[in-house]
Amino acid sequence: MNKKLAAALSGGAVLVVAVSGCSSSDSQEPDPKLVAWAKTVCDAVPAQDTKIRSANASIAAIATNSNLPPKDAKKTYVQAFTDMAEGYKALSDALSGAGAPPGVEDGAKRQQDAVKSLAGLAASYTELKKKVDGLDTKDQGKFARGLKEVAGQSKEIGEQSSTGTKVLKRLEQEDVKQAMAKQPSCTVAASATAKAPAAAG
C-alpha cells in the first residue's frame, strides 16, 4: 500500500523543476527590472526545493518498508505532507509578493495562475496531512484502509501537479526564462533537480 502512495505522490516535486529549470543560451540581455523580479522569485526556490524533495524522499523511503509500524508511518507521512504544504505555500507567497513580471505580455495573468496553482497544491497537501493525522494506528487494518483513501486523493494531487507544471512553464517563457537563468539561486535548484534520482514507485 505504501508503495502505491509513494508512486502517486512522486510527482509533487515537478512544479519546482518547472520554476527552477532555468537555462538560456540567448545572448540578448533581459530587462534589468525583470532580472530583479526573477531574483525575488528565484531566491525562494532552493530552500523550498530541498524541503519538497526531502519530503518526497522520506515517503519513497518508507514505501519499501512493509514492516514499519503504523505509528512510525503516520509520523513520516504527516511530516512529509506538512513540509510539502509549507514548501508550495512559500513558493506561492514568493511569486505573489514579486508581482507580475515587468514588461512581459500577459505577465500578470501568468503570474496569478502560477500563484493560484502553487497555493492549491499547498492546500491539498495540508488536507492530506489532516487526513493522515486522523488515522487510527492502533488497528493496522483500519490504518491501511485509511492510507488507501489518502492514496486515492493523492492521485488528484498528481493531476494538480501536472497542470501546475504547464502553468509555470507558461510563466517562464522567453524573457522570464532568460532573467531566471541569470540567477545563481535558480541555477543551483535546477542543477539539484537534474541530479536527483527518480522517486520510488
User: What is residue 26's predicted lDDT score, i.e. its pLDDT?
Assistant: 54
**Average of pLDDT values for 17-46?**
74
User: What is residue 89's predicted lDDT score, i.e. its pLDDT?
Assistant: 93
Domains in the chain, start-ordered, CATH in brackets?
2-15+36-195 (1.20.120)
**Average of pLDDT values for 127-143?**
89
What is the pLDDT confidence band of residue 195, given thresholds at 50, 70 and 90?
A: low
Cell numbers at 38, concatenated: 526573477
> With 50 as the cut, is the pLDDT of residue 197 above it?
no
pTM above 0.75, yes or no: yes
